Amino acid sequence: MPTTEEWARVHADLTRGLRLPCKLRFSSLWKVGAHDWNCNLGKCDIVVNPFADFRVPAHLILHEGAHHYSCPCLFLYGKGHCRHWARVLCDMYKETGIALPHATGFKEFARAAGIVHKIFDPSEALQMQAIADNPQLVEGADA
């Protein structure tokens, strides 16, 4: 799993390149990660569980960074993995030159990026994103 120094370096590189204000915070309260708004201060954090076994830190930082840009769906349905988020995420991959993952558990991201969508239990979506980014964790996964 990546060290906290690796996470910090990848976070710093990507947020600088994308001009994102999101700070990095480590917490094991989240299974993998989150984009956490602190409404009181008008500030936000990209939260990373330092114990999550995540092979490509950039995938998680970009995923959470794309949540920085809210869209109507977030307020209407409380869901953040919509086509608006997916479009932002695709643009971020393009802008940073990070290679797309082979597969994703997120349907709209798969559609927008033209990559393989694997069906997962939605409640495990982020955990599954970790697995999609770490295909060696999935028995027989060759996508």
Q: Interface with Zn ion includes 84 (CB under 5 A)?
A: yes
By CB under 5 A, residue 73 contacts Zn ion: yes
Q: Which of 18, 44, 47, 86 binds Zn ion (CB under 5 A)?
A: 44
CA angle 69, 125, 87 (to 5 degrees): 35
Spatial neighbors of 73 by CB under 8 A, at least 6 apart, are 79, 80, 82, 84, 85
The span from the CA of 136 to the CA of 54, in Å, is 11
Q: Shortest CA distance to 35 belongs to which of 64, 72, 9, 13?
A: 64
Q: By CB under 5 A, tell whether 86 contacts Zn ion.
A: no
Binding flag, residue 48, Zn ion (CB under 5 A): no
Query: Taking CB under 5 A as the rule, does residue 82 contact Zn ion?
Result: yes
> Residue 59, SS3?
helix
Q: What backbone phi and psi angles, to 5 degrees, belong to 81?
A: -100, 55
**Of the two residues 68 and 118, which places its CB atom closer to Zn ion in the complex?**
68
**Candidate list 8, 24, 71, 138; residue touching Zn ion; CB under 5 A:** 71
Q: How far is the CB of 134 from Zn ion (least distance, A)?
A: 17
Nearest-CA neighbor of 8 among 65, 68, 48, 56?
48
Binding characters for Zn ion, 12-31, by CB under 5 A (x = yes):
----------x---------
Return the number of the residue (58 or 139) whose C-beta is nearest Zn ion.
58
Q: Of these, 68, 110, 128, 132, which contacts Zn ion (CB under 5 A)?
A: 68
Strand-pair partners of 36: 45
Binding status of residue 11 toward Zn ion by CB under 5 A: no
Binding site for Zn ion (CB under 5 A): 22, 44, 68, 71, 73, 82, 84
